[in-house]
Structure 1
């Protein structure tokens, strides 16, 4: 059968009546492949034309193979056979960039620090563009209005060029814009009233702009506007509105420049005659001054008298706690009677302070959580602790609570908040933890999202992710009769110490509480099976951790948390975007400023999606999650030098599957 065509060979295998059906199905597929190949060829030709006009220094010698997606072309990255990323910085490129506009699948374009020139062409073909970096070149002419049609644009940097004309007001049509850098150009005219709610970086310094700064831009620092002599308003000097900037007196028929006497009386009589006060007014002023002096003197006498009396009765001061200092009194906390006073039990057996010292401490509320209210307490020696006042635990038997506290107190790991002591009586149960001063993940991710905010960078997010995973894996590996679980994984329970290390709080408390109540409060992090079974498990912990990863990757608040109306069901939302859009649509806009981390972000997203699988048996174990995240950052061992959860153990532990730990 040598010399026969592919169609002839196929015809031997397919009945004659079915052949036309196969052709109907096959031809469209072949045409799609041919179209993709043709588009890829078009990208290659466009890049070669750009090289021919711009690369006089022969820096792009690798652009020689047949396809730009071969992986050998410097600065070129592809997806699906199309060029999506072009980064050509510091290559001494010259000439215009018109040829590049044919790359209609481009997402990132960076041509910083070259010698490219000419005016920018029509940019409407870059409809998918996210980032455009053209700084430190020699571009001239106005900023084209076609930029406002790039509705997916996040970063726009045209600084250090020679652009002239006005700043287009149509830039307000870019709702996702995070960065707008136009400094060191020749732009003139007034600043437009740009209504860009997501804008975080803005700079128009060293131009020729005039007039007042719009209120929508006044939140940025003065450095963003300096070098524009005729620009005024916050945060620069206040605009002078008393006189026109360039009054043309010749156009005013009431003023004759050569005859001062001809000015209207309204303009001449600006000075007011001095007002003389009568005798009665003078007496009233003197009496008022004397009265003010007497009142101030009485206030100071009363203040020092009260302070003197307090210093003479220290025993009374010690026995009566000020309601101003005692936050617990503000929530109707009272010392229990002597018959049921209970005692403060320290986990290491060493008494560090008395219960009265704790209640007498200066304190402030940190927040209300699933299991109670947390306070920061500052003791008399200056040391600080966190105190959680539990709710819904009073019905628990005294002995059961004591045994459970002993179990939690013995869990020691660098990524867990240490339980220092506990107190229980018939009416009250208090837990005393180490105080961590750097806040929680929820505040770092979602607090103050606006101008002046310091974003949570990618490196910090990865560090928090691996710390949380290690702490949770450690909990899952510790067991007595049954597997230990956390039961309340969420961003507000992920805390940071003064060195930025991650610690999980509230671990172990879910086992003591009513399970259905705990599950009902896990809104946003609740595994699908928990809605029906009302049961907490290690697999449900993995699901909650997956949602936590999605929260860090997307910057979005899980569904209906903390009263947010615009929050999303993260797993469903991410799944729909990944299926219908380009994957980077899901990532937090604050992460897109960091270059060369896209691959790590995508890998972390894949880990998160594995954790939030609807079927519990398809979710990985936390020990596997730790290994996967360590592979991303190239770290195979914990800071202790051994396995992050087996090296610090209570006793003979069992694995997450119930067998003996290896």
Structure 2
């Protein structure tokens, strides 16, 4: 070096590196600008896409809807709800973006046939829902997309058979084909990775493959020609089956006839003689008052409180109130066992918990099924018609990570919501309440599984309840149940429209978010903040102080984590009961950063749910995990 300047060779090398970076950035810009010219943007949503500027500044996006990786490459496009129109016939232009992993054009006015998405072999997620795409999809449309995890084509006009190339997607987690015009049989997917399938409201026909028989019936509703499990519609037998069934029926009928004859001789004939003998005695002797045959149980069981419903739980002789006074149970889910309000009142009940909204009971029905009944007294925000419409909307929700609503009971001053009982209880109990019972702590793999399930359930609420400003509203560890395989089930969701405003502001988690405290307004990102707080609780094992109004000195989990130096997070922040290894420890730190990004006080800087989902989905349980 001379005079403080780099030597000529080194200086030239630096210029070459800088030039190559500019060329790469310029290349991404050119590709996106050429693609922009192929779609119509009447709302000016893509105005930030301008020549002379770079789409990415490292992992920070400068252009609307562009997702950037840590190296400043374009890794995704989320052009959602931008009023874009036209077709995507020139989508192949985006092949020049080698780092592209996510494509989302949801909630626009795009039309035409399915774009040539099969050319994007490295794509992880593809969202085309809620547009105007139409026509049949070629059978090989998704051939070779071996990395694809999520394929959402719902709420379009696609027709014809479901492409069999979908059966060749080894990493597929979610498939949504609902609200289209698909016809013909459902392919037997046999994909072990598949977690969510929705094929409702199409023109599909034939027997539902056995791999779907344990799924919720609502995922196949609206296809009148489908049969089999789980929808409970019998399938017409094939000709060979019909002949075999006829032979079986003749054989069974013969056996039944013979057995019936034996029963008549052995059982009914002595009974008839006994009845004749008793009638003779009654004629020959004076009548006696009949004995009281009413069953009186000596076992004292706790009953559901029933005064408001018009029943006397103490077994008195009071008659039930008229139906219009006592109300009735209304079932919102097809194919479920039906029972009456009186069955609930007769059942033995166990108090599961008492919260600010009311009490939760476990009710054991006489049929053997157990349900959870939640009593609410502060749901007077809407009238009966609006309440019932919202219940029907909730009844249509179906996702593996939601506890489905089964039925409801309406009175002006009290409401009951009925759901299935989950024996393992809540995430809060698993994290904080089982130590005395010597139940093992949740390890890293289980906690990551729980976080992924929670995020998927919340994302489903986002998509299905777009009209709600806060799709969940009350996301916290005590409102997440764990089934026997530790799959999380979200509860107490979508209640904001029904709750009294004052009660909601006092009790619901979304109303504790920074933006609500500062400006009195909630938004969908209030649920993101709740998710972030929950992630931090899961990773730290500490009880989340969501509402520190009683103690002004209490610090939120996010503030507590941020107050610790990052290099000390492993020792001072993460719950040691997760038993971290070197590799899993790195994954824990990544998730911790996701939780903090969700808890960002500035709503504009707080991550979108799509970004959260992608980052969580990339996390692995252990060193041996594949990139799934």
TM-score category, normalised to shorter length: 0.3 to 0.5
Q: What TM-score does the superposition give when structure 2 sets the normalisation length?
A: 0.48
Question: Under a length normalisation based on structure 1, what TM-score does the superposition of the two structures give?
Answer: 0.45
**Structure possessing the higher radius of gyration over alpha carbons:** 1
